[in-house]
Each structure stands twice: as structure tokens, then as C-alpha cells.
Amino acid sequence: MKKGSSRVDFLDEEKVRSLLTYEALIPAVERALIELSAGRIQQPLRSVLRVPEHEGIFALMPAVDGDLMGVKLVTIYERNREQPTHQAVIQLLSANTGEPLLAMDGRLITEMRTAAVSAVATRALARKDARVLAILGSGVQARSHVRALQMVRRFEEVRVWSRTAEHAQRFAEEFGLRAMESAEAAIRGADVVVSVANTHEPLVHGAWLAEGSLVCAVGTVGPGKRELDDAAMQGNVVVESREAALRESGDIIGSGAAISAEIGEILAGTRKISGPGRWTVFKSLGVGATDLAAARLVFEGRKGVSDGAT
């Protein structure tokens, strides 16, 4: 927004895409997760409104980080066919004056920041010699996770499974991966398992997990939804936010699993995993702090382009 003007500019998805890279985003969300756990980023639990006649969800995710505030307005309409199931808008404001600064499409930011957080967790929690990656799902988040995770580990084999075999095969051919016939076949022997399929029932079973493996569980948000069975939840459990996980994760609520640490605490070195778990589960729900970190990069990138214009 120009000084003295009441008009707030809006950046569409293509403009956001031109200003956001995983190379910048991964360290930005890592910093945000550290600051969140340290209490230096303010972030309440997300507010959720349901639109039952359309099986829709409308959520608000605000956060304040230093001189910048932001709120993501996100919708989830799983019945959508012509439109994306997940859509969002992010509004940035000055934390110093309350002045609206910039609005932007948030769908791509949600996609990229989710994968970037998983990449941060993989770099911190996966074995250094991790060589086999399994992806459960073949949609938007599967694509972003393949790109982001290969920036932090050199995987020699990447497997993909989807409920629809043709989708998995097309995905595998596009990225040069290996399509698997079942979730079990994808998971067994994998060093890192990424669950990004839309599900209400467990897809990841503890009986299939390898000793020392990492599960990035991203596919479900909500106290009544599960993507891991109770046996899988017997591993060490790491989250973005304890408060959010204890309210919003059906995997944690339903299994009664104890939370070992927040990922920001591990990244800062203030807490170590000290549990008997044979593997680690990173249960990711998405937090406003990382949305704000991504939106800040877009805001600063746009400002840099504007300042450099002649």
C-alpha cells in the first residue's frame, strides 16, 4: 500500500510464486519455529467456523512477529472439483501502527510452507544416512514435499502410493519415482515417511515402520481425524506447538501419546528427544507463525523489486 493511500494491493498466486523460493523459505520457517517456541512470536489457536451445508471449513490464523502482523483466512472445501480444496488469503499489517500493508493469495504459501516445515523437521530429526523416502498421497502436498525434502537429504529411492493407482503411476512417471501397490509396501523399509493423503482413518501403522525412521504426518487436522494408528504413535512425538497439538490433533488426542518436544525447542537446542520410541513422529498441523514467515519473504521481495525499479 502506498503511503497516504487507502488502497491495499493484492498479489495473486503467480506473483507470489515469482517471489517465493524454498531456498529462502526453509531457513525462514526454521527461524519462525524457534521464535514461536521461545515465545517471541504471538500466535493464538486458530479459529474455525464450519459451513455444514457445503461441508466447508473457514479458519483464521493470526500471528505477530516483531514489526509485522498477519492473518491467514483459509477455507477447506473437500467436495470442490473445479476449485482447489484449500484456498486462502493472507493480510499483512504493521505491528507498529496497525496499518494494512499488503494482501496476497495464500494457497501457494500454504502449500510451500507446509513442505518447508517438513523439510526443516527432516533435516533435524531424520537419520543422516536416510536413503529411502515414502510419500503417501499424490496431490498438491505430495508434489511440494518431493521438491522440498530432496533439498535436505539425498534420497536414493523415492516411493509414492495413492488410493488411486493411476494417480500414483502418473505421479511416479512425472518425478521419476517408484509407484507402490499399497501403503504398507511404501512404508516398509523407508527411512522417512511423509503422510499427505486426505484421510480420516490411519494410513500409517506402527507394525510397518522401520527402526529409527521418521514420520512426517501432515494429512489430517482436527480432533476426530487420524492418519497414524496407536502403535505408530508410540514413537517419540514432536510438534510445532503443544497447545495446538493438544487441541487439534486427533492422532495425539485419540492415542493419548505424550509430546516429547516442539520442533522449535529441538532446533534451538533447548530440548532433546528423550523417550523410548523406536522412531520419531513429527505431527504437523500448520501454524500462523510459519505462514507469516512466508508472507514476510513475499512482502520484502516485492519491496526490493519496487525499490530497484527505475
pLDDT tens track for 43-99: 999 999 999 999 999 999 999 999 999 999 999 998 999 999 999 999 999 999 999
169 plus 242 within the same structural domain? yes
Q: What is the CATH number of the domain that holds 38?
A: 3.30.1780.10
142 plus 264 within the same structural domain? yes
Q: Is 117 domain-assigned?
A: no
CB crowding 113-125: b at 16 or more within 10 Å, else e: bbbbbbbbbbbbb
Q: What is the mean pLDDT of the chain?
A: 95
141 plus 266 within the same structural domain? yes
Q: pLDDT tens-digit profile of 184-208?
A: 999 999 999 999 998 989 999 999 9
In this structure, of 75-79, 219-223, 300-304, the range with the lowest mean pLDDT score is 300-304
94 plus 222 within the same structural domain? no
60 plus 191 within the same structural domain? no
64 plus 206 within the same structural domain? no
Contact of 135 with 158, CB cutoff 8 Å: yes
Contact of 135 with 146, CB cutoff 8 Å: yes
154 plus 92 within the same structural domain? no
189 plus 47 within the same structural domain? no
236 plus 253 within the same structural domain? yes
Q: Is 261 domain-assigned?
A: yes
Total number of domains constituting the chain: 2
| Mean pLDDT in residue range 14-35 | 98
Residue 191, domain extent: 127-286
pTM of the prediction?
0.94
80 plus 216 within the same structural domain? no
Q: Is 263 domain-assigned?
A: yes
**Sorting pLDDT into bands at 50, 70 and 90, what band is 273?**
confident
141 plus 56 within the same structural domain? no
Q: What is the CATH number of the domain that holds 237?
A: 3.40.50.720
Asked if pLDDT for residue 295 goes beyond 80, the answer is yes
**Sorting pLDDT into bands at 50, 70 and 90, what band is 303?**
confident
**Sorting pLDDT into bands at 50, 70 and 90, what band is 103?**
very high
Q: Is 177 domain-assigned?
A: yes
131 plus 72 within the same structural domain? no
Three-class HEC string of the chain? CCCCCCCCCEECHHHHHHHCCHHHHHHHHHHHHHHHHCCCCECCCCEEEEEHHHCEEEEEEEEEECCEEEEEEEEEECCCCCCCCEEEEEEEEECCCCCEEEEEECHHHHHHHHHHHHHHHHHHHCCCCCCEEEEECCCHHHHHHHHHHCCCCCCCEEEEECCCHHHHHHHHHHHCCEECCCHHHHHCCCCEEEECCCCCCCCECHHHCCCCCEEEECCCCECCCCCECCCHHHCEEEECCHHHHHHHEHHHHHHCCCCCEEHHHHHHCCCCCCCCCCCEEEECCCCHHHHHHHHHHHHHHHHHHHHHCC
Q: Is 248 domain-assigned?
A: yes
Confidence (pLDDT) at 310: 41
Q: Is 310 domain-assigned?
A: no
Q: Is 308 domain-assigned?
A: no
Q: Is 118 domain-assigned?
A: no
